[in-house]
Every structure is written in structure tokens, then in C-alpha cells.
Amino acid sequence: MLLQNYGVNNYVWVSQMLSFIVGIIFVRCEVEILTSLTLFRFNKINNIKQTSQLNQSSTAYLLKQLFNQLAQKYNRTYEETLQELQDKEAERVKTLNYSEKICDHFIAACRDGTIGFGWVCPNDKQFNHCQYRHWIPVDFQLFKKEDMDEDLDYEELEDMIERQRQAITQGTPVTAETFAIWKAKRVAKAKEEKDREDQLREQEGIFSGRQIFEKGLYRKDMEELDEGTADDDFMQKWKDEQKAKKEQEMQIEREEAARIEKENEEKEKEAQQEAKEEPQEEQM
């Protein structure tokens, strides 16, 4: 019994140790994988940076070599040519006599809203340079107060209408009395036109629903319907169609019955003829 317990305990202990060792191995593998991935990314980033730096340096080196070749063609070096260009630029600035005054064309372009990357100073077009400054100081007043007041000076719509009305010299002035007279004439004219139109419609026998009720025309129709003297054309037409349809169906049935009766008679005659022929064949 003790041996059995001892063996079971050893088995449990060994299994626990194996699971612990396997866990350590897995953790170490994960750490190595993460470390390798981190190093791979770091090396990739360094390679990209080095490549970009090499490209930039190679481009600058190539441009310098091309410039040196062009300079050697005229027996000049890069440094000598660069210094000569700088001296020419300084001499040009000195001879052009640049001023601290702001260019009027630049100010006008700023006020008009035409300034931008595509704007070219008229002095540059005419003299190939502009000796005045193209910039706006901090305390510079671009728009004057008088210009802003002119933008705000506008006329109200009511004042403009009144001014235009006062400018009219022909016609009758509109007052309460003249407007009342004009409205009465307009209403009378509209009533006359409506009466004339209604009269023409009555002559043609065309009435609106309101006219039928006002004139009491619907009562006459109702009385005729109550007395039974008025015939509904639609219903009469429908009844006639139904009657004709029924007669046609009955005619078809009669023809079909006559056809069946005739066929039965022919079959009976054939049966009788066959019955007469059978005894003669037996005698023979």
C-alpha cells in the first residue's frame, strides 16, 4: 500500500515538473521571437534611414560633380564660381538701390485681393526688378476709415422704392380715395365678365354644381326619377347587352342540343342497320 502511494506521488511530481519545464521553454521561445522581431524592425528602419541619407548625399554629390564638370570646362572651380555668383548678387543689390518704402503695386494688390503666388509686380515686368519692399508691416493700416464707411453707405429698400416713386411725374397720385375708386371699377369689371361667361355657359347648357343647386335644376331630375319617366341610358344599355348575351347563349345551347340529337339518331340508324346485316350473314 505504501509503495503504491509512493509511486502515485512520484508520478504526480514528475508530471508537474514536466509541465513546469515545458512552460519555461514556451516562455523563452516567445521572448526570443519578440526579440528577433524587434531587432528586424529596428534594422529595417535603420536601413531605410541610411538609404534615404545615401540618396540625399548621392544626389548632392552628383549635382556637385556635374557643376564641377561644367566649371572645369571653362577652367573654373566650384568654389570660385559660387563666390563670383554671390559677388554679382551683392553688386546687383547695391546698384539697384533698394528702398525701405513699401511698393504701391503690392499695397493695391493686397487691397484688391489679387495678391497670391501668381501675382507679379508691374515693376518686375517693366524693369526686371522692383526696388521697393513687398511686405506689410504689423502697424500698417491697409484700409482707411473713409473707405470702410463708403462700403457701409447703402440705401434701404423702402427708401429706394419711395425715391423711385417720387421720381414718377406722370399718372394719378395713389391715395386712399383714388385707390378705392380704382378697386370699385376693377370689381365691377370682373363681375360683368363673370356674368357674361355664365350666360354663355347657360346658352350651351353647361352648368356648374353650384349653379345647379342655386337654380333648383336638381329637383326636376329628382321628380322625373320618382315618377319613373327618366330612363338611365347606361342601365338600359347594360340590360340590353345582358339580354342579347343571354339569347346568344340560349341559341348556342339549342344548336348544341340539335347536333347531339342528330348524332344520336345517326348512331341508332347505324345500329339498326348492323342488326339487320348480322342474321343474313348467319344464314349464309
What pLDDT sits at residue 169?
A: 76
**158 domain residue, yes or no:** no
Query: For residue 202, what are the domain limits?
Result: 170-227
Over residues 103-121, the pLDDT tens digits come to: 899 988 888 888 887 888 8
**24 domain residue, yes or no:** yes
CA end-to-end span of the chain: 123
Question: Does one domain contain both 71 and 22?
Answer: yes
**73 domain residue, yes or no:** yes
Sign of the alpha-carbon dihedral angle for 144, 150, 153, 154: negative
**244 domain residue, yes or no:** no
Question: Does one domain contain both 121 and 50?
Answer: no
Residue 136: which of 114, 118, 110 has the closest Cα?
110
Over residues 136-186, the pLDDT tens digits come to: 888 888 777 665 555 555 677 888 888 888 888 777 777 888 888 889 999
CB atoms within 10 A of CB 151: 8
For 243, the grid coordinates are: 339580354
Q: How many domains does the chain have?
A: 3
| Residues in the chain where the model's pLDDT stays below 50 | 1-8, 227-230
What pLDDT sits at residue 208?
A: 73
Q: Are 67 and 78 in contact (CB under 8 A)?
A: yes
